[in-house]
Amino acid sequence: MPVFARADGLIDIKSLSLAEIEAALTGLGSEKFRALQVYKWLWQRGVHSFDEMTNVAKAVRAVLVERYYISFLDVAAVQKSGDGTHKFLWLTEDGHRIESVMIPDDGRNTLCVSTQVGCAMACTFCLTGDLGLRRHLRPSEIANQPLQVREALDATYRITNVVMMGMGEPLHNLDNLLPALEIYLDEQGLNFSHRKITVSTVGLVPQLQRLAEALPVNVAVSLNATTEEQRRLVMPITRKYSMEALLEACRTLPLKATKRITFEYVMMAGFNDSMADAQRLVRLMRGIKSKVNLIPYNENPDRDIRRPADSVVRAFQGHLVKHGLQASVRVTRGRDISAACGQLGKTDPTKALVEGQKIAAIRIRREGEGYDTSRFVLDDIV
- Using the contact rule CB under 6 A, the part of the chain among 51-59, 199-207, 210-218, 371-379 near ligand SAH is 199-207
Using the minimum distance from each CB to ligand SAH, give the nearer residue, 125 or 157.
125
Exactly one of 266, 278, 281, 325 binds ligand SAH (CB under 6 A); which one?
266
DSSP code for 133: E
Identity at 16, one-letter amino acid code: L
Exactly one of 201, 207, 238, 272 binds ligand SAH (CB under 6 A); which one?
201
Exactly one of 140, 173, 218, 224 binds ligand SAH (CB under 6 A); which one?
224
Using the minimum distance from each CB to ligand SAH, give the nearer residue, 192 or 297.
297
Closest CA to 364 of 149, 71, 75, 48: 75
The interface with ligand SAH within residues 165-194 (CB under 6 A) comprises 165, 169
Exactly one of 42, 250, 341, 359 binds ligand SAH (CB under 6 A); which one?
341
Strands 327-329 vs 364-365: parallel, antiparallel or unpaired: unpaired
Catalytic residue, chosen from 112, 126, 341, 355, is 341
Catalytic residue, chosen from 22, 99, 141, 169, is 99
- Using the contact rule CB under 6 A, the part of the chain among 121-129, 184-192, 236-244, 346-354 near ligand SAH is 121-129
Exactly one of 137, 153, 295, 362 binds ligand SAH (CB under 6 A); which one?
295
Long-range pairs for 319-326: beta carbons < 8 A, 24 or more residues apart:
319/275, 319/278, 319/279, 319/282, 320/278, 320/281, 320/282, 320/292, 323/282, 325/281, 325/282, 325/285, 325/290, 325/291, 325/292, 326/260, 326/290, 326/291, 326/292
Using the minimum distance from each CB to ligand SAH, give the nearer residue, 109 or 262.
262
Instruction: Concatenate the DSSP letters of all residues of 320-352 into one string.
Output: HHHTT--EEEPPP-SGGGT-STT-TT---TTT-
Rounded CA separation 192/105 (Å): 18
Give me the active site residues, please: 99, 341
Q: Using CB under 6 A, list all residues that contact ligand SAH.
A: 121, 125-126, 165, 169, 200-202, 222, 224, 264, 266, 295, 297-298, 341-342
